[in-house]
Structure 1
Amino acid sequence: MKHAYSAAVAMLGLLLITPTVSGWAQVTSATQPVTGITMATKRVAEGQVTAVDLGARTVTVMLSNGRSVSGAVSEGVGGLDLVKVGDRVEATFEERLSFVLSAPGTATPANRAIGGLATSRADQMPAGYMAAYAVSTWMVVGTDVANNTISLVDPAGGQVLTFDVRTAEGRTSLPRVKAGDKLTAVRAEFLFARIVRKP
């Protein structure tokens, strides 16, 4: 499934999300999940401030890979007026995304989403920490093994969404997925980003 860019990442113009598969776990009890997959991401980015526009509250950063990115700094982040060209940007992003497939009739957790954001004061260099946790359960409408896709719908109704199954493990397990199964997605995200004065 596609990942949305974190608002806190965009705050500093850093696009950090690239998933990697960490492993599978399988159980066979009819009252337990049929199968599950977990993807874990950890990205670290560094760069140097090349421009600051206080009026527009934007910062342009040259990342260590040579890519230049710009982003708007939220009004809630203090200390933007302290930033100078040449200051360093440091960011660490972590995400853990799990999908658990359950047979019809299996109890699943309630859908929910919580999050929090802490930011710097006006007398501090800009910094922010974001944490978010979300659980959502979908009903499987069908699969297309030949094209490696799965179609899902909210159990309460709505539009049917179709997603590519991109991992080898997921494609191997796709034939086991049946219409009426439940797919629960659990996402945890953590981001810490800051601008520091270059020594």
Structure 2
Amino acid sequence: MVLSLLAFAPSGFAQDPSQPVGGLSMTSAQSVDGRITSVDANARLVTVAMSDGRTVSGKVSESVGGLDLVKPGDRVHAVFEETVSFVLSGPNTATPTNRAVAGMAASGPDRMPAGVVGSKSVSSWLVVATSVADNTISLVEPAGGQVHTFTVRTPEGRAALPRVMPGDKLTVVHIEFVFAGVMREDR
């Protein structure tokens, strides 16, 4: 986990300490395109020339059908979306149970290859220390263990850092979604 952002609503702890103090959610999305340059259906290896000039090779999962339909020149399109939410709570606030779920769906054998993968994780941490001078926050799992120190990188997060106190809780919700498919253009 890389904590690159920490920003919270301007509300303070003078309010009900059993309620979340504030939070932030960010979403980033990226899409990539390319063309198949080679296919080895028996070894399940595919090479793609990406639109940015890179060449990428990889093995296609056995769970993805239709690889025998793919030919050099077919187009590949993939979309990646990620949402990360941070919620800061006071020491007496109940936080969600840590958990992670993931799922996958792929094309059948009679269709061009396509697939989707999604995951969601929720993890709550206990604030051990903050350093305004170093722009860092140190967190540990509520049950204990190794302390992890992260750099707070945004101006909003750095401005909020003096209000984050040892004993506060930080819950991180991380959602990822990837879709990729192969298409044949009419020629």
Common fold by TM > 0.5: yes
Classify the secondary structure of the residue corresponding to 2:123. Answer: strand
1:26 Cα offset (Å): 4.5
Look up the SS of the partner of 1:156 in the other structure: coil
Between 96-105 and 163-172, report the one with greater CA deviation: 163-172
Say if 1:35 and 1:101, in contact at 8 Å, map to a contact too.
Answer: yes
Residue aligning to 1:2:
2
Separation in 2, partners of 1:69, 1:146:
42
Q: Percent identity of the aligned residues?
A: 58
Question: In terms of Rg, which structure is larger?
Answer: 2
Q: What is the CA–CA distance in structure 2 between the aligned matches of 1:148 and 1:52, rounded to whole Å?
A: 49
Amino acid aligned to 1:104: P
Aligned to 2:128: 141
Residue in structure 2 matching 1:189, options 154, 169, 176: 176
Instruction: Give how far 1:24 is off.
Output: 5.6
Rounded Cα–Cα distance in structure 2 between residues aligned with 1:47 and 1:169: 37
Deviations 1:137-166 (A, max 9, x none): 011111222222211111112211121212
How far the C-alpha of 1:189 sits from its partner, in A, is 1.8
Mean alpha-carbon deviation: is it higher for 91-100 or for 67-76? 67-76
For 1:125, give the aligned amino acid. Answer: M
Does the alignment pair 1:172 with 2:159? yes
1:56: how far off? 3.5
SS in structure 1 opposite 2:20? coil
Q: TM-score, normalised by structure 1?
A: 0.83
1:114-153 alignment, distance < 5 Å: 114-153=101-140
Greater CA drift, 54-63 or 183-192: 54-63
Higher relative contact order (CA 8 A, sep 6+): 2
Distance 2:43 2:86 in 1: 40
Q: CA-atom RMSD, angstroms?
A: 2.1
Q: Is the 8 A contact 2:8 2:88 kept in 1?
A: no
**Partner in structure 1 of residue 73 of structure 2:** 86
Query: Aligned partners of 2:38 and 2:132: how far apart in 1?
Result: 49
**Distance in 2 of aligned mates of 1:158 and 1:24:** 26
Instruction: Describe the SS at the equivalent of 2:171.
Output: strand
The equivalent of 1:71 in structure 2 is 58
What secondary structure is seen at the aligned counterpart in 2 of 1:34? strand
Describe the SS at the equivalent of 2:157: helix
Cα pair distance change 1:139/1:159, threshold 3 Å: same
